[in-house]
Structure 1
Amino acid sequence: MNVRQNGAARTRRILVGVNLAAAAVLASQLMVVAPANAVPGLVRVQTTGPANSDWKTTNAECPAGTTVLGGGGRINAASGQVVMDTMLPFVDGSAYSVTGREDDNGFAANWSITTTALCAPAPAGLETETMFSPDNSTDKSVTLPCTPGKKALGAGGELSGGLGQVVLEELRPDADLSSVTVTGAEDANGHTGNWRITAKAICVTPPAGLVRAAGPFGLLDSTSVKTNTATCPSGKRVHGVGGEIEGGAGQVRMTGVLATSSTSVTVTGMEDENGFSGNWGVRAYAVCA
């Protein structure tokens, strides 16, 4: 456990006797054919829950015959005073779940959660890995590897015991997709109680052309709201979602981490109601195939 504190090219066999001109025509035809989904039957499901001022959970359920490969969520109309402290796949793979909690100052207005799930019939080698951090009152991070030879499509994280006073700063598929990283940080008021991270990685036998796309990381500054979008390379679709806040010191919340289309992921960061004088940035990640 690593816990810190604070397509594939396709071989074409040409039979002996086929002339070179015919082979060239065949190659040209293969290049213009649109690629199939790396994971067949991939669909994106989106659900928006009720608007009120209570802590709440909204689940996006996968269609029958499919399982969740990844997901994310967005807090609607909360002005930076609601923390998404849970973004997790269901244990049985039937849905993706997002929970929001108001911070320790509360928030009088109504707000809601939009949750997305990326679903498909179970791909080869599907397994979900789980890791827990220590249970204490220290900022912490967990890096969870997939089984050797497998790659991460989706990620999940939960801040158990954070009670709206701990911010999810990273929910990130790592660069080579062999692991995911989940990081939590206490907010500006701190948190006297113990809390821990539950990290999830949805891992598969890597499909053809699997890559991680990252949004362009702009200059760090103190703009109160920032949005960043990661877009899949041409011909690829989003299979998993991730995001991170850099330099937020617990005073910046990810208020949106979700696939906004079949080819892009958008992440929004927002300073808390007291603002933040430091420089910070936000970045989106899309797992594409």
Structure 2
Amino acid sequence: MRGRTRAAAAAIALAAATGLAQTGAPAQAAVPGLQIVSTASTGGSGSPKSVTATCPAGKRVVGAGFYLDGAAAQVVLDDLIPAAGAVTATGYEDQDGTAENWWIRAYAVCADPVPGLEIVTAVSAPGSAARSTTAACPTGKRALGGGATITGGLGQVVIDAMMPASTTVTAAAFEDGDGTSATWTLTAYAICAPALPGLVLPTVTSPPTTGFQQGASPACPAGTAALGTGWDVNTRFPGSIFPVAAAPSATGVLTVALMNNAPGLAEWTLTGRAVCATP
């Protein structure tokens, strides 16, 4: 890829929680049995790598996340797919490939069945150009989390945004710096349910930088816990910044992105979002 940044990634501190402790005794539990399950792929150099985090028997997915490590800004997230009882994450090396060892981790935020829970999808038109698509929850339901997937991009399309809002999840994708003639589509996933007690969407945007790495870590308010994750990269050169983490923990969400190339060293920011509710 033209103008690839060769700097080494700074260390990313990641609290990889595998479960959530109950705090206090809320009057009404929104998501009883809340638990984070994470599973990592094998390491190595090779593409693609895919991994699935599976909820314990009887539990259902209420949120999804991912973490890419080991190949600084040379691997793109291709899939973050929530299903009824599991979350699948897939990474592709860009067209230059890499000899570095890397791996991908999937996070499934699981809970006892929530009444009315469903997953809604929206698929963009096919083509070879930037696009976005929005999955909307049915009337009366709210978005708890979401996901996105690229079909046909094969490492040359970046999921620039996957942002839950009150009743929708919007995904946006851009081709990387030198583009591709391949035909590809973008799918957005919204995990929907009736409004839950304590449901809020804390959001943090990093300060502008021309640097290699940005992080944004929205925290859930006291007495709530993270369900869903979200991110949005803001840059004059879409496709030049690779999101590498949107990882839920007991208290919030960590989002991280790395510069792949940024012509003119343009400033960029990263917005992270958590969907939180009463556990």
Q: Provide the rounded CA distance (Å) in 1 between the counterparts of 2:228 and 2:29.
A: 14
Q: Provide the rounded CA distance (Å) in 1 between the counterparts of 2:35 and 2:54.
A: 11
Equivalent residue letter for 1:83? V
8 Å contact 1:269–1:282 — kept in the other structure?
yes
State the TM-score, normalizing by the size of structure 1.
Answer: 0.84
Q: Provide the rounded CA distance (Å) in 2 between the counterparts of 1:104 and 1:278.
A: 23
> Could you report, residue by residue, the CA deviation over 1:59-111 in whole angstroms, capped at 9, with x for unpaired residues?
11100000111111111111100000100113xx1210100000011111110
Instruction: Identify which of 62, 73, 81 aligns with 2:66.
Output: 73
> Could you report, residue by residue, the CA deviation over 1:215-265 in whole angstroms, capped at 9, with x for unpaired residues?
2x2332211111110100111101111111111511000011111x21110
Find out whether 1:244 has 2:232 as its counterpart. Answer: yes
What SS is found at the alignment partner of 2:195? coil
Structure 2 match to 1:195: 184
Q: Provide the rounded CA distance (Å) in 1 between the counterparts of 2:42 and 2:220.
A: 31
Gaps of 5+ in 1: 1-31
Structure 2 match to 1:23: none
Choose 1 or 2 for highest CA Rg. Answer: 1
Equivalent residue letter for 1:287? V
Structure 1 match to 2:103: 112
Find out whether 1:58 has 2:51 as its counterpart. Answer: yes
Equivalent residue letter for 2:196? P
What SS is found at the alignment partner of 1:182? strand
Summarize the alignment of residues 1-289 of structure 1 with structure 2, pairs less than 5 Å apart.
Answer: 34-35=25-26, 37-54=29-46, 55-90=48-83, 93-174=84-165, 177-215=166-204, 217-247=205-235, 248-259=237-248, 261-272=249-260, 274-276=261-263, 277-289=265-277
Structure 2 match to 1:7: none
Q: Provide the rounded CA distance (Å) in 2 between the counterparts of 1:209 and 1:148.
A: 19
Query: Matched residues, percent identical?
Result: 36
Q: Provide the rounded CA distance (Å) in 1 between the counterparts of 2:167 and 2:276.
A: 14
Q: Provide the rounded CA distance (Å) in 2 between the counterparts of 1:49 and 1:138.
A: 30
What SS is found at the alignment partner of 2:218? strand
8 Å contact 2:24–2:223 — kept in the other structure?
no
The offset of 1:188, in angstroms, is 0.3
8 Å contact 2:206–2:214 — kept in the other structure?
no
Equivalent residue letter for 1:68? V
Structure 2 match to 1:19: none
8 Å contact 1:37–1:237 — kept in the other structure?
no
8 Å contact 1:77–1:110 — kept in the other structure?
yes
State the TM-score, normalizing by the size of structure 2.
Answer: 0.87
Could you list the runs of 4 or more consecutive aligned residues of structure 1 that deviate by over 3 angstroms after TM superposition? Answer: none
Corresponding pairs, count? 251
Q: Provide the rounded CA distance (Å) in 1 between the counterparts of 2:29 and 2:211.
A: 38
The offset of 1:37, in angstroms, is 4.0
What SS is found at the alignment partner of 2:99? coil
Tell me how large the CA RMSD over aligned residues is.
Answer: 1.4
> Could you report, residue by residue, the CA deviation over 1:108-148 in whole angstroms, capped at 9, with x for unpaired residues?
11100111110012201111111110000010011221001
Q: Provide the rounded CA distance (Å) in 2 between the counterparts of 1:275 and 1:246.
A: 12
The offset of 1:275, in angstroms, is 4.7
Q: Provide the rounded CA distance (Å) in 2 between the counterparts of 1:270 and 1:69.
A: 27
> Could you report, residue by residue, the CA deviation over 1:147-206 in whole angstroms, capped at 9, with x for unpaired residues?
0110011101001101100000001102xx110100000000101111101111110011
Q: Provide the rounded CA distance (Å) in 2 between the counterparts of 1:122 and 1:138.
A: 39
8 Å contact 1:95–1:117 — kept in the other structure?
yes
8 Å contact 2:209–2:268 — kept in the other structure?
yes
